[in-house]
Structure 1
Amino acid sequence: MNTVLKIVLLLGLTSNTVMAKNILDKLTVAPGFELSLFASDVENARQVVVSKKGIVYVGSRKAGNVYALIDHNSDGVADKKMLVAEGLNMPSGLAMKDGDLYVGEVHRIIRFKNIDTQLKNPQFEVLYDALPSERHHGWKFLRFAPTGELIIPVGVPCNICAEDERFGRIFALNVETKQITTLAQGVRNSVGFDFHPSTQALWFSDNGRDMMGDDIPPDELNRVTKEGEHFGFPYVHAGAIIDPEFGKGKKIADYTSPALALPAHVAPLGIHFYNGKQFPASYKQQLFVAEHGSWNRSKKSGYKVALASIEQGRVTKYTPFITGFMQDETTYGRPVAFAELGDGSLLVSDDYANVIYRVSYKKN
């Protein structure tokens, strides 16, 4: 399939750019940090990855696009946006390895080889096409494991149901042999995970079921301790609640409890262990969490970036880091995912405001 290449300069105060800059006035970041716009007019920005050359690639869900953002003068602001691909099937998830860009559509994984050198005429190959085609909870988040496998989640095609082994799991794909194995099961809808830089344990977010009320069940942060571990869905939620429809005869103790039970419906998406050198030492290997925010709660919840402090595999503290995406029940933005630039600053995507924020630390 040929892709169409379009180049759009991000300089200039278009109406969308002005709107994007206005959101910065709404947001508050932790003391000592600065929040700026790395890029605006990035429609439905979802997962973000950075190549070794510093080119920022961004997936989308509803827009169906993959973008490349280039900061030629390294001033922390992208000055060129390139449309790498369009018309894809919810290409939300991205991963980079050995210069190749991997894109997760609902039903398949595609690969752009040596993407940084192919931006004038990007072409992709289909790497793996045996994923389910159901679009409900079908959009992806991708990341390579330290051992080299591509990690792929497949959510359940429902609010609550007991599906076959193709769904409700986090898989590991060997990109050479195409062999796929289950890392975690009983996972309703994970759209974010990361490996701890030291222990290499897989942590992931999971979005709990709807229609049990405003305050239950909790959303989850989970840690995988063994291959094939079962995290309860659809029988047990957050290691504490038996499902009224599917939990009959099930025991809470038979399933893994979350590392942290979050408030219901805050919708944790991307998570990221900070491993850069710009932020204070206390942030090293600590977990950033993007709470995308509720969609059907009577009073909105979530809509923030938080920091989970991790010590010896346990969450010891959970504190707001960026707030203001929702104020007085009005939504201004919805954070999605993270990536680090080479200077240690942190990028945060927002699929509601259509922007990429840059978080930097103000050194004294």
Structure 2
Amino acid sequence: MRTKLIFSSFLPLIAAAGMIWYGAHVRSHDASTVTPDADNAGLKLPDGFGALKAADNLGRARHLAVTSAGDIYVKLNRAVDGKGILYLHDDNGDGKMDQTQGFGNYPGTGMYIKNDYLYASSNTDVYRYKLDANQKVVNQNAPENIVTGLINRRQHESKSLVLDNEGNVYVNVGAYSNSCQQQDRTKGSLGREGCPILDSAGGIWQFKANKIKQTYGDGVRYATGLRNVVGLDWNQQNNQLFVMQHGRDQLHDLFPDLYTVQQSSIYPAECMYAIKKGDNAGWPYIYYDQDQHKKIVAPEYGGDSKKEGSNKFIDPAAAYPGHMAPNGLLFYTGSMFPERYKNGAFIAFHGSWNRAPEPQAGFFVVFQPFKDGKPFGKWEVFADGFAGSAANVTSGRAEHRPCGLAQGPDGSLYVSDDNKGTIYRIVYNKK
């Protein structure tokens, strides 16, 4: 009886201690404890939204993933002090990352969490790390190498990745060419018949998520005719892969008799594709003209800027202005943002370099509304101001360039910057 009395007398203290621990554990991702920066981290956002810099000066931060506890894993395009992956932790729940640890001695872009594993890519391989109950990596120095030997010709070499719900990983292998010319980026050079690049690049490959040392022979060329995909995501609403393609360059430079400088500045479109197994998006044989709303035969393959391409190539799900470099795609499934954002897509446009004499463009995150798993209505700029000023946008000398997107457990939107290594966190606080 005495033991029972003593134990019962401590119950209130135990309960209180439990609540204190629980509060400390969850507040790192509780939006009510997060205060946006006074200047919203320099961003321009819709009414009711705020932003803070969760981390800064990390290096060339590419894609990122946020755990259920609110910790962040970031992939670096260049390893810093021999570390290509950063783990960030918020000690006090204010939204600012206080701890930074590094591991993974390789550069790259891809980063994704699925089924208690962290997946990361170099420019040739895909690795996975086991996560414990707190979603911390347990094998930092001994990841499983699940895909190896993907081609890297130092052009469009990033291997972005995403996973489905059936145990498959999808990896972009970008084309090491602008338009598969006989002489790459050479005026008047015609296209290579049958474009041999497509045998090992210019598409999306599917591999098993739990099998080690897979090579091209173990994988499936899931989709082809995609020049380069950096932003991709799995649409849970219709259980389908969506990708953002970087369109080709230099229409005027390579074929000045067919295209004006102005046309070359704005065409072709940057395209969103809804991908099914076996799809062909048409690169290098066609490009998409967002004003004519048509697939146009590429000049390297007999096009004249007006001749329409074959219907064997799929149409884009949505098209955006040219040369803005879509590097991140995220379907929003959270509940923090207003209902209109639910199941819609955020796209991070890294920004252009080749729109002269037109002003450069991009350097923002846009929102694309969706309905029933398809784009519905016009896209809109959601987060702007990364470049620092209008003059920086025009010249292309942006202070920050949005690259990766991730959703936090509370519904926050995280944006990485691969110029100065800033991680932005966007929250919604309007009552």
Measured against the shorter chain, the TM-score band is 0.7 to 0.9
Is 2:362 the counterpart of 1:323?
Answer: no
Q: Secondary structure at the match of 1:240?
A: strand
RMSD after superposition: 2.2
Distance apart, 1:324 and its partner CA: 1.8
Alignment partner of 2:278 out of 223, 228, 231: 228
Give the helix-richer structure, 1 or 2. 2
> How much has 1:85 moved relative to structure 2?
2.3
Q: Distance in 2 between matches of 1:207 and 1:105?
A: 20
Match of 1:252 in 2: 310
Point out the more displaced range, 269-278 or 321-330.
321-330
Q: What is the CA–CA distance in structure 2 between the aligned matches of 1:227 and 1:172, rounded to whole Å? A: 9
1:44 aligns with 2:57: no
Match of 1:137 among 149, 156, 160: 156
* Alignment-derived partner of residue 158 in structure 1: 177
The answer to whether the aligner puts 1:289 opposite 2:347 as a matched pair is yes
Taking the aligned partners of 2:238 and 2:139, their CA distance within structure 1 comes to 40
Deviation string for 1:271-328 (max 9, x for gaps)? 1011111111111001001011002221211111000011232331200001122321
Correspondences of 1:32-71 after superposition (within 5 Å):
32-63=48-79, 65-71=84-90
Decide whether aligned partners of structure 1 residues 117 and 359 sit closer, same or farther in structure 2, where only a CA change above 3 A counts: closer
Task: Judge conservation of contact 2:55–2:96 (CA < 8 Å) in 1.
Answer: yes
How many angstroms does 1:247 deviate by?
4.9
1:266 is matched with which residue?
Answer: 324
- Asked if structure 2 preserves the Cα contact closer than 8 Å seen for 1:217 and 1:241, the reply is no
Residue 168 of structure 2 aligns with which residue?
149
TM-score normalised per structure 2:
0.74
Partner of 1:343: 410
Would the aligned equivalents of 2:129 and 2:140 in 1 still touch at CA under 8 Å?
A: no
Q: Tell me the residue number matched to 1:76.
A: 95
The structure-2 alpha-carbon separation of the partners of 1:32 and 1:23, relative to structure 1 and needing over 3 Å to count, comes to closer
Q: What displacement does 1:263 show?
A: 0.7
Report the AA paired with residue 410 of structure 2. D
Q: How far apart are 1:120 and its partner, in Å?
A: 9.2
> Which residue is 2:131 aligned to?
114
How far apart in 2 are the matches of 1:63 and 1:22?
32
- Structure 2 unmatched ranges of 5 or more: 1-36, 181-194, 252-263, 289-293
Structure of higher CA gyration radius: 2
Cα deviations by residue, 1:60-114 (Å, 9 ceiling, x for unpaired): 213462111111233222111111223x1x3211122332222111111122223
Evaluate the alpha carbon distance shift between residue 247 and residue 271 of structure 1 in structure 2; reply closer, same or farther with a 3 A threshold.
farther
Q: Which residue of 1 aligns with 2:144?
A: 125
Aligned counterparts of 1:250 and 1:320: Cα–Cα separation in 2: 31
Give 1 or 2: higher strand fraction: 1
**Displacement, 1:171?**
1.4
Q: How far apart, CA to CA, are the structure 2 residues paired with 1:176 and 1:66?
A: 21
Which residue does 1:96 correspond to in 2? 113
Q: CA deviation at 1:51?
A: 2.6
Could you tell me which amino acid in structure 2 is paired with residue 316 of structure 1? Answer: G
| Contact 1:310 1:317 survives alignment (8 Å) | no
Aligned structure 1 segments of 4 or more residues deviating by more than 4 angstroms: 21-25, 115-121, 247-250
Partner of 1:12: none
Q: Which residue of 1 aligns with 2:240?
A: 201
In 1: Cα distance, 2:90 partner to 2:41 partner? 23
Q: SS state of the match for residue 245, structure 1? A: helix
2:375 matches 1:314: yes
| Counterpart contact for 2:62–2:75, Cα < 8 Å | yes
Deviation of 1:183 (Å): 2.2
Give the secondary-structure state (helix, strand or coil) at the position aligned to 2:378.
strand
**Matching residue of 2:25:** none
1:73 is paired with a residue whose SS is coil
Percent identical:
30
- Say if 1:121 and 1:176 are closer, same or farther in 2 by CA, change over 3 A: closer
| Alignment-mate amino acid for residue 113 of structure 2 | M
| Paired residues for 1:300-311 under 5 Å | 300-311=360-371
Q: 1:134 to 1:81 in 2, by over 3 A?
A: same
Structure 2 Cα separation of the partners of residues 120 and 236 of structure 1? 45
Is the CA contact 1:237–1:243 (under 8 Å) kept in the aligned structure 2? yes
Q: TM-score, normalised by structure 1?
A: 0.87
DSSP 3-state at the match of 2:68: coil
Q: Which of 347-356 and 68-77 deviates more?
A: 68-77
